[in-house]
Structure 1
Amino acid sequence: MLGWALTFLAIALIAALFGFGGIAGASAGIAQILFFVFLVLFAIALISRAVRGKPPV
């Protein structure tokens, strides 16, 4: 998921460089949503692992 967020961020930066504002804005929005979903899932995974008693690696 983090890889997809970085991919959309790169698309947004390239589109902004060439002046495609609509595509850049949409790609940046998608990248932001994917990044926050990644953070939430990562936090849930850490909490569930801690509750089960396994220390983080």
Structure 2
Amino acid sequence: MGTDDKLDAKADQLKGKVKEGVGDATDDRGLQSEGQTDQAKGHLKEGVEKVKDAFKKD
């Protein structure tokens, strides 16, 4: 996995966690949803990079 891509995926996950936490604290369902979406996007990016790495090793 490329370092930049890995950091980008982790940044999305962290950003999502923060948004979701703030949404929970302020009872803002929209912000909670955005946070969950950002986390999912980060996990998806991470998965794509792992698949790319698997094919590069062959």
The two structures have a TM-score, normalised by structure 2, of 0.63
Q: Note the residue ranges of structure 2 that are not aligned, 5 or more in a row.
A: 1-8
Structure 1, gaps ≥5 residues long:
52-57
- The one-character-per-residue Cα deviations of 1:13-55 (angstroms, maximum 9, x if unpaired) are 221222011111122112212211211112211321x21xxxx
Larger Rg: 1 or 2? 1
Task: Write the distance in 2 (CA, Å) between the matches of 1:29 and 1:4.
Answer: 9
Residue aligning to 1:54: none
Equivalence for 2:19: 11
| Length, aligned pairs only | 50
TM-score, normalization by structure 1 = 0.64
Report the CA distance between 1:12 and its aligned residue.
Answer: 0.9
Question: Separation in 2 of the partners of 1:2 and 1:43?
Answer: 16
* 1:9 Cα offset (Å): 1.8
The corresponding residue for 1:24 is: 32
